[in-house]
């Protein structure tokens, strides 16, 4: 833990706090180029705040890495002191893994360099970039890489978990466009992972999360995605409309990806008052093709029922990311699962559970998969759910921390009802549910292969503050002090 020198007034401001074997904050500041933020420093509370509310962790120190050399130095510090290491990109982990209590936060957000080769349709992107920043820059060239559905999400976390976004049916997962990665290992080494170099590590980081090192740069493939037909379509939610929506999304051309948020309608200006608080389908549609083909692809959705609101239009690709409210840190409970069909019974179950929720906002998000994602062999990457047809995320947003147990129970019951005996999970939408749910994200031989690769690259499980894959040696996780000098 951080041991403060009582003689140092102002805590972190004095720079005399000791980390582990005796290195002080002041000494750490001479070891790295990026800012070092300690308790008591201006900006400490803001620096330890992540996207989701209710996460009140107080790290011993936060290092905002300027480059890969800084990353290596921080990894060495964690390895030598035994302090817990949290690696933060966009800070959107539902489990709050972008921060820790009493340990070290390695904040990659200053690392935002982006080099786009429009002719070759590739990009080298540092891990501190957000999906929105990357997409806006690529759009200047009429190009895009598919990430998720939120612009402020860091490209690192979403890529390492797989990446299911608006281009998943046309161009596959984010990892299907990952060509190479630069990684700092648990030993502080700098490695390139691609199809020809450290191929086992390259396989593992395409879906296996941050278990194997800190990725400092990604090389992505870019696609010709300039103007698209996309936006929000709100429909009344009945079992028949929900079932028909999913069927229309499954039969749509691969160019169209649909995300249906079945939820209580918010009291927004474009929502008629009679629908406020009612269960609706707030759908996000995107067609990555010609404008004429896009309008044809969207027509079946508009025909399902009289739209409550229709904002689907010709747009530039980055416009599909909804605007975000600064300082918004929701209290939320959630779970994730896959289903193979949405029939009337499933649709009725969704509506019944949403109507029973006491949350300020309750939702079931339904993402129809298939297309390019499903045409990649299941064992080609560590993302093992290529053949699943529908991803469902259930969630509740609430107002007070003391409400958490009730909403977590509701979410768990809702997910179990939909999932029945199949506990498959998408790792990027998991909360702090524990090791069993991590196994659900990596079924069968995927888990065995990941643990073997973990054993090779991180045998002491230094990178454990994540949806953790332990090393395959069977030994317990240890936090060792290796006696390294940091003078």
Place of tokens 């009725």: 348
pLDDT at residue 484 tops 90: no
Separation of alpha carbons 125 and 166, rounded Å: 20
Residue 471 in contact with residue 459, Cβ under 8 Å?
Answer: yes
Please report whether residue 276 resides in a domain. Answer: yes
Tell me which of 57-61, 324-328, 371-375, 468-472 is least confident. 324-328
Domain boundary among 160, 193, 224: 224
Q: What whole-number percentage of the chain has pLDDT above 90? A: 86
Domain boundary among 191, 207, 224: 224
What's the rounded mean pLDDT across residues 221-238? 96
Residue 158 in contact with residue 174, Cβ under 8 Å?
Answer: yes
Separation of alpha carbons 284 and 317, rounded Å: 13
Please report whether residue 200 resides in a domain. Answer: yes
pLDDT at residue 326 tops 90: no
At residue 15 the predicted structure's pLDDT band, cuts being 50, 70 and 90, is low
Separation of alpha carbons 338 and 369, rounded Å: 10
- Per DSSP, the three-state class of 417 is helix
Residue 93 shares a structural domain with residue 199 = no
**Which residues, 6+ apart, have CB-to-CB distance to 329 below 8 Å?**
49, 50, 51, 52, 53
Q: Report residue 53 as tokens.
A: 């509310």
pLDDT of 22: 73
pLDDT at residue 1 tops 70: no
Residue 335 shares a structural domain with residue 425 = yes
Place of tokens 């999400």: 153
Q: Report residue 134 as tokens.
A: 């990357």
Task: At 132, give phi and psi (nearest 5°).
Answer: -65, -45
pLDDT of 322: 87
What's the rounded mean pLDDT across residues 288-297? 97
Sheet strands (E) in 198-306: 214-221, 223-224, 227-236, 256-264, 279-287
Please report whether residue 334 resides in a domain. Answer: yes
Please report whether residue 466 resides in a domain. Answer: no
Residue 388 shares a structural domain with residue 242 = yes
Question: How many domains does one find in the chain?
Answer: 3
What's the rounded mean pLDDT across residues 410-425? 90
pLDDT at residue 104 tops 50: yes
Helices (H), 206-290: 239-251
Residue 263 shares a structural domain with residue 370 = yes
Q: Report residue 367 as tokens.
A: 């993402």
Residue 172 shares a structural domain with residue 34 = no
> What is the strand order of the sheet 214-221 is part of?
114-117, 122-126, 214-221, 178-184, 190-194
pLDDT in tens, 419-466: 877 889 999 999 988 899 999 999 999 999 999 999 999 999 999 999
Separation of alpha carbons 146 and 166, rounded Å: 6
Please report whether residue 5 resides in a domain. Answer: no
What's the rounded mean pLDDT across residues 338-360? 96
Domain CATH code at residue 397: 3.40.462.20
Residue 206 shares a structural domain with residue 269 = no
What's the rounded mean pLDDT across residues 104-127? 98
Q: Which domain holds residue 415?
A: 227-439
pLDDT at residue 50 tops 60: yes
Domain CATH code at residue 40: 3.30.43.10
Please report whether residue 484 resides in a domain. Answer: no
pLDDT at residue 194 tops 60: yes
Burial of 256 per CB tally in 10 Å (0-12, 13-18, 19+): buried
pLDDT of 16: 62
Separation of alpha carbons 83 and 100, rounded Å: 10
Q: Report residue 374 as tokens.
A: 């499903």
Q: What is the mean pLDDT of the chain?
A: 92
Residue 316 shares a structural domain with residue 410 = yes
Domain boundary among 42, 77, 107: 107
pLDDT of 473: 61
pLDDT at residue 34 tops 50: yes
Residue 81 shares a structural domain with residue 124 = no
Residue 430 shares a structural domain with residue 391 = yes
Domain CATH code at residue 202: 3.30.465.10
Burial of 31 per CB tally in 10 Å (0-12, 13-18, 19+): middle
- Per-position b or e across 384-411, b if 16+ CB within 10 A of its CB: bbbebebbbbbbbbbeeeebeeebbebb
pLDDT of 423: 85
Separation of alpha carbons 418 and 340, rounded Å: 11
β-strands 390-398, 361-368 pairing: antiparallel
Please report whether residue 478 resides in a domain. Answer: no
Residue 94 shares a structural domain with residue 28 = yes
Query: What DSSP string runs through 311-355?
Result: --EEEEGGGGSPP--TT---EEEEEEEEES---HHHHHHHHHHHH
Please report whether residue 446 resides in a domain. Answer: no
What's the rounded mean pLDDT across residues 152-157? 96
Residue 94 in contact with residue 50, Cβ under 8 Å?
Answer: no
Q: Can you give the C-alpha Rg of the chain in angstroms?
A: 23
- Per-position b or e across 152-166, b if 16+ CB within 10 A of its CB: ebbbbbbbbbbbbbb
Place of tokens 């994540």: 466
Residue 220 shares a structural domain with residue 84 = no
pLDDT at residue 262 tops 70: yes
Separation of alpha carbons 52 and 162, rounded Å: 21
pLDDT of 160: 98
Residue 283 in contact with residue 322, Cβ under 8 Å?
Answer: no
Residue 239 shares a structural domain with residue 285 = yes
Helices (H), 32-87: 44-47, 68-81
């Amino acid at each position: 833990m951080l041991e403060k020198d009582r003689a140092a007034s102002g805590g972190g401001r004095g720079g005399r706090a000791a980390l582990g074997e005796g290195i002080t904050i002041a000494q750490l500041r001479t070891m790295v180029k990026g800012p070092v933020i300690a308790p008591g420093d201006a900006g400490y509370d803001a620096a330890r705040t992540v996207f989701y509310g209710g996460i009140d962790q107080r790290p011993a120190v936060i290092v905002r890495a300027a480059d890969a050399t800084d990353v290596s130095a921080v990894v060495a510090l964690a390895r030598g002191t035994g302090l817990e290491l949290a690696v933060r990109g966009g800070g959107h982990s539902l489990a709050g893994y972008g921060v820790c209590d009493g340990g070290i936060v390695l904040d990659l957000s200053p690392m935002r360099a982006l080099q786009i080769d429009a002719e070759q349709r590739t990009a080298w992107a540092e891990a501190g970039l957000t999906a929105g920043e990357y997409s806006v820059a690529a759009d200047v060239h009429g190009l895009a890489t598919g990430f998720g559905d939120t612009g402020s999400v860091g490209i690192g976390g979403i890529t390492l978990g797989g990446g299911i976004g608006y281009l998943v049916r046309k161009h596959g997962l984010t990892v299907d466009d990952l060509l190479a990665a630069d990684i700092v290992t648990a030993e502080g080494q700098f490695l390139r992972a691609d199809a020809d170099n450290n191929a086992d590590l390259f396989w593992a980081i395409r879906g296996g999360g941050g278990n194997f090192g800190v990725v400092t740069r990604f090389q992505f493939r870019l696609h010709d995605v300039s103007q698209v037909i996309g936006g929000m379509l709100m429909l009344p939610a009945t079992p028949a409309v929900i079932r028909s929506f999913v069927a229309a999304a499954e039969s749509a051309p691969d160019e169209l990806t649909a995300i249906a948020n079945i939820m209580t309608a918010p009291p927004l200006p474009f929502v008629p008052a009679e629908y406020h608080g009612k269960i609706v389908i707030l759908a996000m549609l995107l067609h990555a093709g010609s404008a004429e083909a896009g309008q044809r692809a969207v027509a079946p959705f508009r025909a399902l029922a009289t739209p409550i609101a229709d904002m689907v239009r010709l747009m530039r690709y980055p416009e599909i990311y909804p605007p975000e409210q600064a300082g918004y840190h929701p209290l939320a409970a959630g779970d994730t699962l896959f289903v193979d069909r949405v029939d009337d019974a499933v649709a009725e179950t969704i509506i019944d559970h949403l109507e029973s929720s006491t949350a300020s906002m309750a939702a079931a998000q339904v993402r129809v998969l298939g297309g390019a994602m499903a045409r990649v062999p299941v064992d080609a990457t560590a993302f093992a759910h290529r053949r699943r047809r529908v991803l469902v995320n259930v969630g509740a947003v609430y107002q007070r921390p003391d409400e958490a147990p009730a909403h977590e129970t509701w979410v768990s019951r809702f997910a179990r009802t939909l999932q029945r005996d199949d506990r498959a999970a998408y790792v990027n939408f998991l909360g702090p549910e524990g090791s069993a749910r991590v196994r659900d994200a990596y079924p069968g031989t995927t888990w065995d292969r990941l643990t073997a690769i973990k054993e090779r690259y991180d045998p002491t499980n230094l990178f454990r503050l994540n949806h953790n894959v332990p090393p395959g040696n069977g030994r317990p996780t240890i936090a060792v002090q290796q006696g390294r000098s940091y003078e």
